[in-house]
Amino acid sequence: MKRHLALAAVTALASAFAATAGDVVGTITLKGTPPKEKDITPLKEDPNCGKLHTAMPTTKFYVVGAKGELADVVVSLEGISGKSTGASAKPVVMDQKNCIYVPQILAVQTGQKLVVKNSDPVLHNVHSVPTVAGNPEDNKAQMPGGADLTFSFPKAEEFIKFKCDVHPWMFAWVSVFDHPYFAVSGADGTFKIANVPPGKYTLKANHRKAGVVTQEIEVKDGAPTTVALSLDAK
Amino acid sequence: MDLAEKGSRPLHWFAFLTAAATLVLLGIGGLVTSHGAGMAVPDWPTTYGYNMFFFPFSYWMGGIFYEHSHRLVATLVGVLVVALTRWLGGRPSRLPLAIIGGLELLAGLALGALGPNWRGAGHFLAGIGGVVLLAAAVWARNAPAPRPLPLLGWVAFFGVQIQGLLGGLRVVLFQDEIGIFHATLAQLFFLLLCLVVLLTSRWWRTLAAALSTVGGGPSSRLSWWMLAATALILFQLMIGATMRHQHAGLAIPDFPLAYGKLWPAMDADSVAAYNQQRLEVTALNPITAFQIGLQMTHRLVALLILVAVGVCAAKAWRLARRSGRAQGAVATNRPVQSLARISLVWFDLILVQALLGAATIWSNKAADLATAHVIFGALSLALGGIVTVISFKLPAPAQAGLPVLEPGGRQGWNATANAMSQPFSSRPLPSGAASHTS
């Protein structure tokens, strides 16, 4: 009976907490004209991977919409740490399709599983190259049709490089946070960080090439906080 | 041609073959780094779980092709070096080879018994032990080569095994620093084999025989210039290895300027801007201020080398001219003349190497050019080592003349040696000298 009461109390507290949390939503745009993306000539010329592409593939550093909506920006809250729920969070999936990582920019929590698939008819090696102490470097082979690979990082680190050394044009970047309050902007430039506890935060938007922009925000009880951020093309 | 002469010729050519195979290996190693393929095979000594000798050819794709070829050619070089060690060491080398081979075989078997994680390394070590045992067991009862060749053979023997181990550890321990050491040791290893080729050559034996009656003397300033220039080249190769194994591509994308300036900005904001502005097609590490500084140092040291080797070549030519005049207009001094010619080739190599360095930048580090830069670097070091050793062997000009040589090999050398026992002014000109120089 006591156990049931305790459980009910915890549930009630959690519900109360969830009710007061708010979402941070927003849009990110790019100012200026980004540099022209580069042709990935080695991919097109590769005897195995090249035939998976009918047109010349290009790099995708700046994925920008018609109105400047910028994708692949990692948005996160600063000053909030040690709240990772990665161990119980749903795994994040990265695939290898046509000898390119999809997606190329991802974000996970510490301890959260990152599952890497190989949908290609060729073998790859998946090589993670973290630089923060405590995040181990790893390099795993993955044959065509081979089992999924799983990676996980215990320490927070921005933009851990993943690469395939067999096909050196293949690379992706994975940011690791020790809390769940982050998002990656989509093709329409929008993002949503859900269930943020009320309070004042610094919102940080980090793009591999356009750099970093921050904004002070305040999340109020249950209300969504809307922000608009812009980054300059370099 | 005496029996010793006959026997040493195959040894010389075998040493040449080993050195040539090593240069090929170095080139493939250069391709591995230039293509960023060092980790394309995640396991070692197995290849994607296969015994490396039975890895299906259909999987030799992309970066695997370079890395796996590198491993196979390295194995071939390992076998050649074991045979060379046995040949240079002669009969006395059999017992140590048998002991080392036996120990490696046993250690390999013991490792294999530790479990699946150690089986690959165990097979690798046992394989090496087997080759070493074979070299100890099956061979002619040959005499050791003249000193210091047996010692050089042993240095190569241990060097090649350390190199193999370093290459493997680079893969399984994820340490770029090991790659830098591996690359530098490879250059030194190639230099060592080139010196073995020189010391087993008929040319060298003839020189040594002729000079044996003159004895050693104070080395000329030229020798020290050559040593310093060679050491500078080695230093430059270490810088180059560090640059290549940081996998950051070109830290400075333009030449002769650096980011449009004589000396680039290296503060944190500037470095961040460099990284943001470059769009990488391959997976490169971000540029750091250290790497920019390293490339600037590489450029400055290249300039120093160009000057130093130029001075060496000029001094060698002056020495050759002076020795020719001192011994009469028709006299020929082949070792000094040869030293002058090789020094000129050395200088030419450095010029080509500088051009390749510039072309590597202008081509945005095209793999073939970057690899050619590595190969020419190895050749520059090797030739530097060769001219240095020759120059130290020759008596200083201050001594009572230099050996006057006739064409015709050993007889000519012997005549020279006899002649040199007389006072310089009363030495007869060699009979073939006039025809040689005409």
ipTM for the predicted complex comes to 0.82
Contact of A124 with chain B, judged by CB distance below 8 Å, is answered with: no
CB nearest to B39's CB, from A42, A127, A161: A127
Q: Do A169 and B282 touch (CB under 8 A)?
A: yes
Q: Do A59 and B279 touch (CB under 8 A)?
A: yes
Q: Given this model, what pLDDT does residue B76 score?
A: 95
Work out the pLDDT band at A80, boundaries 50, 70, 90: confident
Q: Is the peptide bond before A168 cis (omega within 30 degrees of 0)?
A: no
Distance (Å) from the alpha carbon of B96 to chain A's nearest alpha carbon: 39
Q: Do A40 and B281 touch (CB under 8 A)?
A: yes
| Owner of token pair 């005496």 | B2
Q: Given this model, what pLDDT does residue B404 score?
A: 44
Cα–Cα distance measured from residue B328 to residue B402, given in angstroms and rounded to the nearest whole number: 12
Q: Do A139 and B48 touch (CB under 8 A)?
A: no
Cα–Cα distance measured from residue A175 to residue A177, given in angstroms and rounded to the nearest whole number: 7
Q: Given this model, what pLDDT does residue B246 score?
A: 87
Average pLDDT of the segment spanning B267-279: 92
Q: Shortest CA distance to B391 belongs to which of B330, B294, B314, B312?
A: B312
Find residues 62-121 of chain A whose CB sits inside 8 Å of chain B.
Answer: none
Distance (Å) from the alpha carbon of A11 to chain B's nearest alpha carbon: 46
Closest alpha carbon within chain A to B39: A165
Contact of A44 with chain B, judged by CB distance below 8 Å, is answered with: no
In this predicted model, what pLDDT tens digit does every residue of B101-139 receive, in sequence order? 999 999 989 988 887 777 777 888 888 999 999 988 866
Work out the pLDDT band at B423, boundaries 50, 70, 90: very low
Four-CA torsion B101, B106, B110, B116, nearest 10 degrees: 50
Mean pLDDT for chain B overall: 84
Domains and CATH numbers, chain A: 22-232 (2.60.40.420)
More confident residue, B269 or A81: B269
Q: Beta-strand (E) ranges in chain A? A: 22-31, 74-78, 92-97, 100-102, 105-109, 114-118, 124-129, 138-142, 149-151, 157-163, 171-177, 182-184, 190-196, 199-207, 211-219, 225-232
Average pLDDT of the segment spanning B388-412: 58
Q: Given this model, what pLDDT does residue A122 score?
A: 94
- Whether the per-residue pLDDT at B398 is higher than 60: the answer is no
Q: Do A125 and B42 touch (CB under 8 A)?
A: yes
Closest alpha carbon within chain B to A160: B285
Work out the pLDDT band at A145, boundaries 50, 70, 90: confident
Q: Shortest CA distance to B399 belongs to which of B213, B125, B131, B248?
A: B213
Q: Is the peptide bond before B256 cis (omega within 30 degrees of 0)?
A: yes
In this predicted model, what pLDDT tens digit does every residue of B321-344 receive, in sequence order? 877 665 543 334 677 888 899 999
Using N-to-C axis directions, what is the helix angle for B176-199 and B221-244, rounded to 10°? 150
Average pLDDT of the segment spanning A138-162: 95
Q: Given this model, what pLDDT does residue B124 score?
A: 82
